[in-house]
Amino acid sequence: MSTSETITLSPLQRKNLKSHAHHLDPVVMIGNEGLTVAVLKAIDEQLAAHELIKIRVFSDDREQRTELHASICAELGAAPVQHIGKLLVVWRPGKSSTRIDPDTPYLPDAPVAKKPGTQSAPHTPKKLAAAGKTAAKKTVKRKSVTEDTENTLARRIRQATEQSRKRTTRRGARRSR
């Protein structure tokens, strides 16, 4: 265990580390006996391995949890990132330069964007895939643009005339004599 001063973080660094810690699960649990030498050693090992860790405290006393957070950071030379409920988030820079940088926000691995104009493979049903076959490609006969627009216009005109007929018969005003 290294005994050194607590690291101070700027609000932006703290925000970035919180985003890094969001998906983490607690790796160390502090029980009824509190902060023992064994617990401190476990926290030190986890900080050396992961840099940023969550710690679960089973105490119901909020002030005691705040004191635990401060004493852990002071004893191990770490920075207090967050204390929310019974979870404590602690960060200590590692020896490797490829680890968590508090100045950069957490960005999960984004899906790779497809190149424009490329198509993905068509869906293959499970039974065909198990047999090593692929689905037959269906060809769709497309109407020409002008033919499609003429059909749409004709359908809209028919619908409009039917609606106007329904309106006039409901009112009963326009009857031929």
Q: For 107-157, what is each residue's pLDDT tens digit? A: 776 555 566 666 667 777 888 888 887 777 666 666 666 666 777 878 888
* Rounded distance between C-alpha atoms, residue 16 and residue 10, angstroms: 10
Q: How many residues does the chain have?
A: 177
pTM exceeds 0.75, yes or no: no
pLDDT value of residue 4: 59
Handedness of CA 96, 94, 81, 85 (dihedral sign): positive
Q: Helix, strand, coil % (nearest 5) of the chain?
A: 40, 10, 45
Helix 37-50 with 62-76: angle, nearest 10 deg = 60
> What are the residue ranges spanned by the domains of the chain?
11-91
Which overall architecture, per CATH, does domain 11-91 show?
Answer: 2-Layer Sandwich (3.30)
Task: Please state the rounded mean pLDDT for residues 18-35.
Answer: 93
